[in-house]
Amino acid sequence: MVEAAVLNNILSFGPVFLLIAARALAMIQTAPLLSSDAIHPAARFALAGLAAFAVIPTAEVFFAANSPGGVVTLPGGTISDLRHEVFSLRFGLLVIGEVIIGIILGFYLTIIFASFSTAGQFFSLQMGFGASETFDPVAQVENPLMGQYFNLVAMLIFVTIGGFHQLFLGGFWRSVQTVNIISLIEGREAVVTMLASGLSRLFIDAIIIATPILGTLFLTSLTTGLISKAAPQINILSEGFPISILTAYILLFASLPYLVEAFTRVLNSGFGTIQTLYIQIGRQITGGGL
């Protein structure tokens, strides 16, 4: 009797579990670090299932008040028992909606990380590493050495400040508590505004991070140009690149503490923007729904 009751309870929450797992898997497949080819697909599926299982008791946006686990609120205020609609078109559309929410979360985090690699690309050419592109396992693209270096630094900072903790608790868990596909459609203007502002902030943050090094390398190039005019017998081409590379390395070493602070501020600001979006389009958190 006890085993049958436990099994029935698990099966009753099965459709909602599939919806939340679809959101978690979409987020994992698009978020930096977690989407790396170095992580086995089985580990991603297992992580998505574990995350979905852990947050089901607080997934109020999927349940109507005082209703069993298979009941979900749909457009127009109607209530649908998902236990009888798992293979229906409406359930398939709900899964697609959950995947869209997960992709938005992962894509926005990708935008945040892209600002770091973009900052490195801004001064790689002036530094003399413009043609030295290698495959970046974090960004999953060909990236100059300085862009890859900044990505690795950002990855270490992300782990140090508890980025995965913020991603799964402040990002995924809060989204399950407050946002479903209906609230996402109703608040689509806020979502579009967040993504557009994220793209603009990408370049602004990249320019702010790269400006000290980029400006110094510009002054270095200007100085070597003046020297070549004053003393034409000096082979400035053979001397200019070592000077630029050495200057850039010295600046990177001296500014690393400030870069760490800037990277931390950018990451925390990104998570804060996601929290603000939940407040704008989501429902108020009142506690567990089960």
- Per domain, the residue ranges of the chain are 2-281
For 106, counting Cβ atoms within 10 Å of its Cβ (0-12 exposed, 13-18 middle, 19+ buried), the class is buried
Q: How many CB atoms lie within 10 A of CB 121?
A: 20
Tens place of pLDDT per residue across the chain (290 aa): 545 554 555 566 777 888 888 889 998 888 887 877 778 888 888 888 888 888 877 776 666 544 444 555 544 444 455 555 666 777 788 888 889 888 888 888 888 888 888 887 777 777 766 656 666 655 556 667 777 788 888 888 888 888 888 888 878 888 888 887 888 888 788 888 888 888 888 888 888 888 888 888 788 777 777 777 776 666 666 666 777 778 878 888 888 888 888 888 888 888 888 888 888 877 665 544 33
SS (H, E, C) the chain: CHHHHHHHHHHHCHHHHHHHHHHHHHHHHHCCCCCCCCCCHHHHHHHHHHHHHHHHHHCHHHCCCCCCCCEEECHHHCEEEHHHCCCCHHHHHHHHHHHHHHHHHHHHHHHHHHHHHHHHHHHHHHHCCCCCEEEECCCCEEEEHHHHHHHHHHHHHHHHCCHHHHHHHHHHHHHHHHCCHHHHHHCHHHHHHHHHHHHHHHHHHHHHHHHHHHHHHHHHHHHHHHHHHHCCCCCHHHHHHHHHHHHHHHHHHHHHHHHHHHHHHHHHHHHHHHHHHHHHHCCCCCCCCC
Q: What is the pLDDT of residue 40?
A: 82
What is the C-alpha to C-alpha distance for residues 77 and 84, in angstroms, rounded to an integer? 18
Q: What is the pLDDT of residue 68?
A: 46
Q: How many CB atoms lie within 10 A of CB 207?
A: 14
> Pairing state of beta strands 141-144 and 133-136?
antiparallel
Q: How many CB atoms lie within 10 A of CB 249?
A: 11
Cβ 62 vs Cβ 180: under 8 Å: yes
Q: What is the pLDDT of residue 141?
A: 62
Task: Retrieve residue 188's tokens.
Answer: 């689509």
**pTM of full prediction above 0.95:** no
What is the C-alpha to C-alpha distance for residues 47 and 21, in angstroms, rounded to an integer? 9
Question: What is the phi/psi pair of residue 99, to 5°?
Answer: -65, -40
Q: What is the pLDDT of residue 65?
A: 44
